[in-house]
Amino acid sequence: MNAQLSDEERQLATLVREFAEEVVAPQAYEADRTKTLSMDVVAQMGDLGLFGLPFPEDVGGQGGDLFALGLAIEALARVDQSIAITLEAGVGLGAMPIHRFGTPAQQQEYLPDLLSGRALAGFGLTESEAGSDAGATRTTARLDGGEWVIDGTKQFITNSGTPITRFVTVTAVTGTTGDRKEISTIIVPRGTPGFEVGPAYDKVGWHASDTHPLSFDGAHVPEVNLLGQRGRGFVQFLQILDEGRVAIAALATGAAEGCLEAAVDYARSRTVFGAALSTRQNAQFTLARMQTRVHTARLAWYHAARLRDAGRPFATEAAIAKLVSGEAAMDNARDATQIFGGNGFMNEQPVARHYRDSKILEIGEGTTEVQLLVISRALGLGG
């Protein structure tokens, strides 16, 4: 795979991999056990410039692209998915909507802190009845005296309750045209009266990732907090979503590789019936299949990211990458846990955490079924 990387990309991948091993990995178990996102690690990621990777230098970014971001996310996810998703969401769902759709004033106010890692932001899309069907949004926003008045709830919102969370961007129904909802996106700063961040979820995995429900009860924000064009909120989200699927595919690839490396090391060191486990053909074949999944997943997200960065259509390739890599992470986590046997059931082992963490990779940023729908439509199938 190194042959597909430029010298600069190779240096970036090496830098983040070393940071992951030296800084992220040692604290991963305790962070998972205590369900605590280390703000010190987040700050160090900011110092490395990771939150600014895919943004132009003239707005405070590193001048990279989606591929560069994917390399960083993959390297982090190899040792800790919670830290990797903090970066992915901080960039793709926090800063990117402001960069892509914000006014000059909004960009000037928010981007410097978001791209430096001094602040995080969440994107409030999902609701109890609006997940894969995001068009079913029920949260509303109405104009009253030059202010948006927001009512509704959101759930599963990443980076919405950290000590450095600056705001959340929410989708809301701002009107109707016939039977169609007009959905817009609105910036809601932290501390806005009527805006409440609920207690953190007790999740199966991603324990150190910050995730909360949100509620809005007559929350007032200025009319200028509209992000992008009124009525274009859902379309704007779809533009962000395709890039997010590539980034999640990179994360899943890193998780799959982390499982593979741990399983190979364990198989070599574990003695069963007088010989190393790695000498048993069943274990060898299991590890070979795991390597194949990592290789295929990486090819898929590399291809999708390169297409996007070249300005070419990539939505179908993003769906393929998300599908292949999510399944690779889950399958490799299961097989690695089996290689470890009873030890794989102990949370001290990274493979146990990957086993819990990886299931969401078949759900978040579009379920496996949604990816299959996108791919089948690209084949001209369906009604």
Burial of 79 (0-12, 13-18, 19+ CB in 10 A): buried
Q: Please tell me the distance from the alpha carbon of residue 330 to that of residue 359, in angstroms, as a whole number.
A: 6
Catalytic-residue membership of 223: no
Question: Is the CB of residue 214 less than 8 Å from the CB of residue 335?
Answer: no
Task: Find, among 323, 160, 312, 190, the residue nearest to 252 by Cα.
Answer: 323
Catalytic one of 88, 127, 362, 365: 365
Q: Which two three-digit tokens encode residue 183?
A: 């959905």
Encoded tokens for 200 = 């953190």
Residues recognised as catalytic? 365
